[in-house]
Amino acid sequence: MVTGRRPAGRFAALAGAAALALVVSGCGGAKVGGSSDSTGGGKGKCGTFNLAVNPWVGYEANAAVIAYVAEKDLGCKVTKKDLKEEVAWQGFGTGEVDAVVENWGHDDLKKKYIDQQKTAVSAGETGNTGVIGWYVPPWMAKKYPDITDSKNLNKYADLFKTSESSGKGQLLDGDPSFVTNDGALVKNLKLDYKVVYAGSEAALIQAFRQAEAKKTPVIGYFYEPQWLFSELKLTKVDLPKYTDGCDSVPDKVACDYPGYLLDKVVSKKFSTSGSPAFDLVKKFEWTNEDQNLVAKYIAQDKMSPEAAAKKWVDANRTKVKSWLP
Amino acid sequence: MPPARRDGSGDRAPVVSVRGLWKVFGPKADRVPDTPELCGLSRRDLMDRTGCTAAVRDVSFDVSPGEVFVVMGLSGSGKSTLVRCLTRLIEPTTGEIVFEGEDIRAADEKRLRELRRHKFSMVFQHFGLLPHRRVLDNVSYGLEIRGTGRAERTRRAQEVVELVGLAGYEHSYPDQLSGGMQQRVGLARALAGDPDVLFFDEPFSALDPLIRRDMQNEVIRLHHEVGKTMVFITHDLSEALKLGDRILIMRDGRMVQCGTGDELVGAPADDYVKEFVRDVPRSHVLTLRWIMRPVRPEDALDGPELGPDVVVREATSAVLAADRPLKVVEEGKLLGIVGNEEILAVVAGTGGGE
Amino acid sequence: MAVLTERATARPAPVRNTRRIAVAAIVAGWLVLWLILRGHQTLELGTSDLTSLHRWFNDFNDAIGADRNSNPLFLYFFNEIRLVIDNLVTFFQGLISQPSFGRPVPAIGWLGVVAIAGYASWALGNLRVAALAVGGFVFFGLQGLWQESMDTLALTLSAVFVSLLIGIPIGVWAGLSSRVNRLVTPVLDFMQTMPTFVYLAPLTLFFLIGPASATIATLIYATPPAVRITAHAIRSVPHTTVEAAESLGSTRRQTLTKVLLPMAKRTIVLGVNQTIMAALSMVTIAALIDAPGLGKTVVKALETLDVGVAFNAGLAIVVMAIVLDRVTTAASVRAEVAGRASRNSVRRRRAGLVGAGVVTAVCVWLSYTYVWASQFPEGAGLGDDIARTADSVTRWAQSNLSGATNGLRDAMTTALLNPFEDVLTGSPWWLVGAVLVALGAVLGGWRAGATAAVCVALIVASGLWRDSMTTLASSLVATVIVMALGVVVGVWMGRSAMADRLIRPVLDAGQTMPAFVYLVPFLALFGATRFTAIVAAIVYAAPVTMKIIADGIRGVPETAVEAATAAGSSTWQTITKVQLPMARKSLTLATNQGLIYVLSMVVVGGLVGAGALGYDVVAGFSQGQLYGKGLAAGLAIVLLGVMFDRITQAAAQRAAGAPSGR
């Protein structure tokens, strides 16, 4: 049938030959599913564990360690879901999220999902304390030692002038995820500053980094624990001391932010499921140093979350044991 | 204009008969033809008063079987709208259109489609060909949509393609053809369904003069061969005179005059028509009927004889060669005399007619 | 209006002059009143203050959330949609990206996917794009991003598939009926300008977290181009052809299937192309609700400001966009010439395709069976090199350029942005409103004026007047710069085919590289400022205007340029006196599109220091109690967009002369 003369025939013949060559040359390798490498896979009672991962590295450290332990020690199948906080909490109601393992305050969400909709329950603290406040880069703290007292800030307002601050000092505010009282603070402490909204964590970090590298002045809203501190020890500016209830009226706030005891929240369904993963989440507790270390592995040493978790867990077996049933 | 014959007697009954046709564009167009006061307004005044444009105003005519009926006017005179109203590509506002005894305006959508598929078809100024189909598939489109089988429609399309002189181009795509060739495709497409009437909407005005002349001759040839009734729209007077058995002149949507070519040239209805036909070489259009004079006693009556419908140009040499005036005779009756004087007046363009 | 337009055509020069004088008078009056009234009635609202409208939006959102498990609409309608889309995406993922069918790897491995990509590109387009597709896909693997790329591809294909399923029929309908078109247009405007951040969180209430929500978020943004371009394609089929088909007795269905669709096919394919581009531009944002793929890599890298890794992933998105763009463009050309080739070459091509089909099938089989063909070999390490290079370039730029960039920023801010913002935000709201309405009426006619009035009223009602004016100021400055760049580069590209070939891929990259990738270096160069936001907007919006203007310049008839040259014009004179004036329509379109694109970057601007509406939207996405305010801010952005779209379009139409009466 193939005459070999017609171009069509030649093409087909050529293609056939190429295909044959491919088959022959390809048949050397290992076959898919040849060696049984069953990683993970539920060992019965744990089943699937839906873990929300909020978009910051500290959280990622918590999640990585919990996920690693849940998989290796409890045999759970862990599904990580990358979500913003608000969306993650919504997931409690729809049954798509079992746990949030680092929560910064969020009284509004607690009220909505724990008290009103009753789809979520608290699962205790993580052991980390969160600090929110105003920070300056290390070189400024060294050069202007008294800048760390908010009373002296007006003296330095000129330093912080930028194209955005219309003649006043610029107070760089930040991440829209965090509740801020800075507008009220500036007004009530009678500071000659203007709050400028950087708009993202990345913008804040970049501002502090550039300031330290170029020795330019900047003052801004920030928080600990944060992986940046392993690279850059920002210095906190002392605002008037926090007392209970001093921040109850948003417009009248004139005191520092309270310390946050970071905590864990799980869905109601998960809490009653009898899953060993729930016990793990509930018992999970570590220090700021622990988290900073894992966060450093991820952010600076560019390890994958799994590798970072493995490294830490291998070195801290005893602590991990205490979380297990 | 011949009176409308509606008795349906034999082949003299008109194929298309139009009465009181109006097409008004704009808001509440219906009221315009019904309001005598508005009917009388000029287009401009009507626009200012009502926001409406009257494209076709109170037009009536008949087209006889086998006739080439030309509608002529300048751009904006409403002629293209008129021809679209005849096939209801544009819905007329009021008036009556009778096609082979059937009221077209009463036809429902289905019947209208039947008529378009079988009874009449149209050739367009900008061809309207389908660029993604070959010539043959363009020509057979009308057959395809009415459900003719593939073999039959290819056979018929091939036949028509040959008829219009496109043999050899069956498998070309329209954009590979010249404008003239494309319009042949349009013509073939219109002929393929074997309609009773062909409508032409300025089919050759987009073509260059030489090609236009070819195509005009082509239409004349086809008319002889297939003998279809044709309604032909043009803005070119010489084209109208060349093709038309009768010509309807439109201006601002109204009909100004309707008659044969020599009637228009010989007896223009008004100054507009007179101005229009001024540059027409009268000797090419006028017949002896229009220039003959009554017999005077001193005339020698032994000159050559010709019929009254002979065109002047064709009679010129005979008249000039003879030393006596020419007799115009119809059915043995002497109608008048044409001498050198009359002929020269026409050829030199100084007189004749009125 | 008919009378008005008639006069405009009859005496264009004096009318245009009066119009210019009127505009100057309005602006002058505004400035005088601003000096007197500045600071009064500017409707300022604190960052965490809410109006009752914002609270009502909040309550509404909460009510939906509380209701979702009992409401039959959710149980039977949204859940069904979610299931269908989830299954579609999961199916694609199972084929190419995720372990499936009880296997540790997807059904088709990298070799199979590469072969299919090449084969499909050849079959739909030509050999050149097939080579490009093969190269591009292998590049994903070399970058170390095979699985991420395939996830993104699976999601994009699903979203595009559903977009077209919805978009093309609606587009055809809108093309056939101008009533439908009028109804659909504002909806499309809304879908395209409403910031995604506003509806991202609520979407997960309706469709849960997962592929369905990501797909729907994507298709909300990606469907409008499909509808618009399809409608445009149908409408541009020459009227005579449709009339001819009707005159032969075609039914409506026959006209549609045998005339309109085949003739519109080429343009519709371009619509598909635009839909794909729009879908790809949503990849990073969809990652915020757990959409798998390259977007996640970018977002994660941003958490640690890892520019290198983000750039590597961004580059994969750009490459995917370029491959898909060139393949669909080639496909649209093929749609035109399909079957035109000589019989012999058709036969040869067919035989070649059969042969290649066999090879492809073998590759697919190999990639199904053998590990080496299934999982992309690791250790190619190209990704690391790219990341390292990007890192060091960024670091170099940050440490060496920031002096110059800061100077530029300060100059632009004090000379252009601040004065402009002062006038807009410092005037009483009613003054700015009146000025906008008056400008709309003078430039675009009473209809545009009325639209402006409605938009102004609604913006005031949104409670975010002051923020809207701040955003408007930055957006207008950005648009001015975008236009300046657009004219310079566009003219260059329009005049030189060489320049066009060189610049176009850069423009494609500017349009599809996720903003998140370049924000970090920009932040280092310009700080968290309004100017950074403007620069980001320029990167995204300038390519469109350049492309449109280049097209317009190329569309100027050769004879006009020839005549100008023959008359002894210099190059400069030819450009300014012939080419630019004759490309005026393109210039207006470019302004219009430029502003719309700038507005679509407002939210990104909010992330880097622009504040105002962008920040409101971002904060609303992050904090529950600010949700309502974010929604209001999103609506304000839409309103700004609609207002300027209508004014510029009406002005363009008037400038181009009155449309004919019939």
Q: How close C512 comes to chain A (CA, Å)?
A: 21
Chain-chain contact of B128 with C241 (C-beta, under 8 angstroms):
yes
Per the CB < 8 Å rule, is B89 touching C247? yes
Q: What is the pLDDT of residues C570-588, one digit of tens each?
A: 888 888 888 888 888 788 8
Whether the per-residue pLDDT at B210 is higher than 90: the answer is no
Which of A31, A55, A108 shows the shortest C-beta gap to C625? A108
Whether the pLDDT of residue A2 is over 80: the answer is no
CATH placement of domain B282-347: 3.90.1280.20
The 10s digit of each residue's pLDDT in A51-106 is: 999 888 889 999 999 999 998 888 888 988 888 888 888 888 888 899 999 998 88
Q: Is B204 on the interface with C (CB under 8 A)?
A: no
> In chain B, what residues touch C248 (CB-CB under 8 Å)?
116-117, 121, 141-142, 145, 189, 193
pLDDT digits (tens, 9 = 90+) for B115-164: 888 988 999 888 888 888 889 999 999 898 888 899 999 999 999 998 88
Do chains C and A touch by CB distance (3+ pairs < 8 Å)? yes
Given pLDDT bands bounded at 50, 70 and 90, which one contains residue A308?
Answer: very high
Provide the token pair at C96.
């190419």
C345: tokens are: 């070459």
pLDDT of res. C349: 81
Per the model's pLDDT, the better-predicted residue between C338 and A37 turns out to be C338
With beta carbons under 8 A apart, name residues in chain B contacting C662: 25, 53
For residue A54, the model assigns a pLDDT of 87
- The torsion region of residue C527 among left (phi > 0), alpha (psi -120 to 50) and beta comes to left
Q: Which residues pair with A149 in a beta bridge?
A: A238
| Token pair of B185 as six digits | 């495709």
Q: What is the pLDDT of residues A113-143, one digit of tens each?
A: 888 888 899 988 998 888 889 999 999 989 9
Q: Hey, which chains touch C, using 3+ CB pairs under 8 Å?
A: A, B
C299 touches chain A (CB under 8 A): yes
**C609 → closest Cβ in A12, A96, A198:** A198
* Mean pLDDT (whole number) for B315-335: 81
Given a cut of 80, is residue A7 above it in pLDDT?
A: no
Q: From the options 3.40.50.2300, 2.40.33.10, 3.30.70.380, 1.10.3720.10, give the CATH code of C71-104+149-336.
A: 1.10.3720.10
pLDDT digits (tens, 9 = 90+) for C459-489: 998 888 989 999 999 999 999 999 999 999 9
Determine the topology of domain B10-119+195-277 in CATH: Rossmann fold (3.40.50)
Using pLDDT thresholds of 50, 70 and 90, give the confidence band for residue C618: confident
Among C residues 8-67, those touching chain A with beta carbons less than 8 Å apart = 46-48, 62, 65-66
A30: contact with C, CB 8 A cutoff: yes
**Minimal-distance CA residue of chain C relative to B49:** C3
pLDDT value of residue C472: 92
* Pairing outcome for strands A260-267 and A99-103: antiparallel
Instruction: Please give the helix or strand (H or E) that residue C539 lies within, else none.
Output: helix C530-555
Per-residue pLDDT at B3 exceeds 50: no
pLDDT of residue B239 exceeding 50: yes
Residue ranges per structural domain of chain C? 71-104+149-336, 108-142+339-380
Whether the pLDDT of residue B4 is over 60: the answer is: no
B169: CB partners within 8 A, 6+ apart: B135, B161, B177, B181
Q: What is the reported pLDDT for C203?
A: 85
Distance, CA of B194 to CA of B120 (rounded, Å): 8
- Quick check: C402 and A196 CB within 8 A? no
Position C170 confidence tier, pLDDT thresholds 50, 70, 90: very high
Confidence of residue A110 (pLDDT cuts 50, 70, 90): confident
Mean pLDDT across C404-420: 86
Q: Does A43 have pLDDT greater than 50?
A: no
> Quick one: pLDDT at residue C638?
92
Indicate the pLDDT class of residue C453, thresholds 50, 70 and 90.
very high
**Nearest residue, CB atoms, C528 vs list A19, A22, A203:** A203
A7 interaction partners in chain C (CB closer than 8 Å): 344, 347-348, 351
Residue of A nearest to C101 (CA): A33
Any contact of A with B, at least 3 CB pairs below 8 A?
no
Three-state helix/strand/coil letters over chain B: CCCCCCCCCHHHCCCEEEEEEEEEECCCCCHHHHCHHHHCCCHHHHHHHHCCEEEEEEEEEEECCCCEEEEECCCCCCHHHHHHHHCCCCCCCEEEEEECCEEHHHCCHHHHHHHHHHCEEEECCCCCCCCCCCHHHHHCHHHHHCCCCHHHHHHHHHHHHHHCCCCCCCCCCHHHCCHHHHHHHHHHHHHHCCCCEEEEECCCCCCCHHHHHHHHHHHHHHHHHHCCEEEEEECCHHHHHHHCCEEEEEECCEEEEEECHHHHHHCCCCHHHHHHHCCCCHHHHCEHHHHCECCCCCCCCCCCEECCCCEHHHHHHHHHHCCCCEEEEECCEEEEEECHHHHHHHHCCCCCCC
CA–CA separation, B333 vs C164, rounded Å?
81
Q: Are B78 and B23 in contact (CB under 8 A)?
A: yes
| Per-range mean pLDDT, top range of C33-37, C64-68, C224-228 | C224-228
Residues in chain B within 8 Å Cβ distance of C265: 132
Q: Shortest CB distance from B113 goes to which of C251, C259, C662?
A: C251
Low-confidence winner among A163-167, A234-238, B58-62, C531-535 (lowest mean pLDDT):
A163-167
Predicted local confidence at residue C284, as pLDDT:
84
Of A21-30, A42-51, C503-512, C524-533, which range is least confident?
A21-30
- C560: closest CA of chain A, how far (Å): 48
Domains A48-128+261-323 and A131-252 share a fold: yes
Using CA atoms, how far apart are residues C225 and C228, in angstroms rounded to an integer?
Answer: 5
Cα–Cα distances in Å, from C627 out to A61, C198, C653?
28, 8, 39
Q: Residue C164 pLDDT > 90, yes or no?
A: yes
Asked if C241 lies within 8 A of B145 by C-beta distance, the reply is no
Q: What is the tens place of the pLDDT at every residue in C269-305?
A: 888 888 998 899 888 888 888 888 899 888 888 888 8
**Residue C84, Cβ neighbours under 10 Å: how many?**
12
| pLDDT at site B350 | 55
Chain C interface includes A90 (CB < 8 A): yes
- CATH T-level assignment (fold) for domain A131-252: D-Maltodextrin-Binding Protein; domain 2 (3.40.190)
* Residue A77 β-bridge partners: A48
Domain ranges of chain B: 10-119+195-277, 282-347
Q: Chain C closest CA to B60's CA: distance in Å?
A: 22
Q: Are C140 and C149 in contact (CB under 8 A)?
A: yes
CB < 8 Å from A in window 506-545 of C: 519-520, 523-524, 527-531
Q: Is B126's Cβ below 8 Å from some Cβ in C?
A: yes
Confidence (pLDDT) at A21: 65
Interface touch C622/A85, C-beta < 8 Å: yes
Q: For position C7, what pLDDT does the model report?
A: 40
C263 touches chain B (CB under 8 A): yes
Q: What is the pLDDT of residue C656?
A: 65
C-alpha to C-alpha distance for A279 and B194, rounded to whole angstroms: 88
Label residue A246 by pLDDT band (50, 70, 90).
confident
Chain C residue with the nearest C-alpha to that of B86:
C247
Q: Measured between beta carbons, which residues in chain C are less than 8 angstroms from residue B124? A: 240, 243-244, 247
Going through C394-540 in order, the beta strands assigned E by DSSP cover none
Q: Which two tokens stand for residue B32?
A: 């315009």
> Are residues B122 and C238, on separate chains, in Cβ contact within 8 Å?
no
Position with higher pLDDT, C7 vs B196: B196
**pLDDT of A30 above 80:** no
Q: What percent of chain C has pLDDT over 90?
A: 22
DSSP string, C575-620: IIIIIHHHTHHHHHHHHHHHHHHHHHTHHHHHHTT--HHHHHHHHH
pLDDT on residue A309: 92
Answer yes or no: is pLDDT of B13 > 70. yes
Task: Indicate which of C90, C304, C531, C535 best probes the interface with A, i.e. most A CBs within 10 Å of its own CB.
Answer: C304
How large is the average pLDDT for residues C102-124? 86
Whether C653 has its CB under 8 Å from any CB of chain B: the answer is no
Across the interface, of A83, A177, A250, the residue whose CB is closest to C290 is A83
- Give the B:C interface size as CB pairs under 8 Å: 74
**For residue range C308-328, what is the model confidence (pLDDT) as tens digits?**
888 999 999 999 999 998 898
Instruction: Specify the CATH number of the domain A48-128+261-323.
Output: 3.40.190.10
Chain C CA closest to residue B129: C241
pLDDT at C380 (0 to 100): 66
Per-residue confidence (pLDDT) for residue A22, from 0 to 100? 60
